[in-house]
Structure 1
């Protein structure tokens, strides 16, 4: 799970920077996209740690247990869905807030 968390963090951060910079370039010059970038990159690390903590305490032999395969797959899917989807969702929310102000 540690490898998945590390790659998901890299993916999330890259997407968040790309999406935020795109919003800044096409926005009204609001500070909200910058705020979104700082807060969301900092906030994702503790969230990813929750995924890793669950699997960190399981030994190598126990991690190979077929009964845990479904839970591992579910956690990986949730991790990657968040890493890919959150930058777009959250930047959209901040863009909507900036449009209201």
Structure 2
């Protein structure tokens, strides 16, 4: 799980950096950079670390069960889906909110 957690964090960070720089270049507020960093530090890192720690303890117990492999695959799938989709969701939501606020102010 350590490999999956580290690689998913790298993918999350790379996609987020790409999307934030594209959004700022398109005219979004530069505060998106700070929000992106806060999201990475406050949300993504603890979730990945908790998932990795959980599977580390499960593997140390060496309790083989038929459902353990299925749970591992489910957690890996959830981790990768979150890492690959959340940057797109929050950037598109932030851009829509920024446009809505700008329309209200005008």
TM-score of Structure 1 vs Structure 2, range by shorter chain: 0.7 to 0.9
Aligned equivalents of 1:79, 1:11: Cα separation in 2 = 11
Q: Report the CA distance between 1:61 and its aligned residue.
A: 7.3
Alignment TM-score, normalising by the size of structure 1: 0.86
From the superposition, tell whether residues 2 and 48 of structure 1 become closer, same or farther in structure 2 (CA, over 3 Å): same
Aligned equivalents of 2:63, 2:18: Cα separation in 1 = 35
Paired residue for 1:39?
38
Alignment deviations for residues 21-40 of structure 1 (CA, whole Å, 9 cap, x no partner):
11111124x13422331122
What's the C-alpha RMSD, in Å, of the aligned pairs?
1.8
Q: Secondary structure at 1:93's aligned position in 2?
A: helix
Q: Secondary structure at 1:57's aligned position in 2?
A: helix
Alignment TM-score, normalising by the size of structure 2: 0.83
Paired residue for 1:99?
99
Judge conservation of contact 1:32–1:94 (CA < 8 Å) in 2: no
Please identify runs of 4+ aligned residues in structure 1 that moved more than 6 A. none
Paired residue for 2:84?
84
In structure 2, runs of 5+ residues without a counterpart are 102-106
Larger C-alpha radius of gyration, 1 or 2? 2
Aligned equivalents of 1:58, 1:87: Cα separation in 2 = 29
Paired residue for 1:23?
23
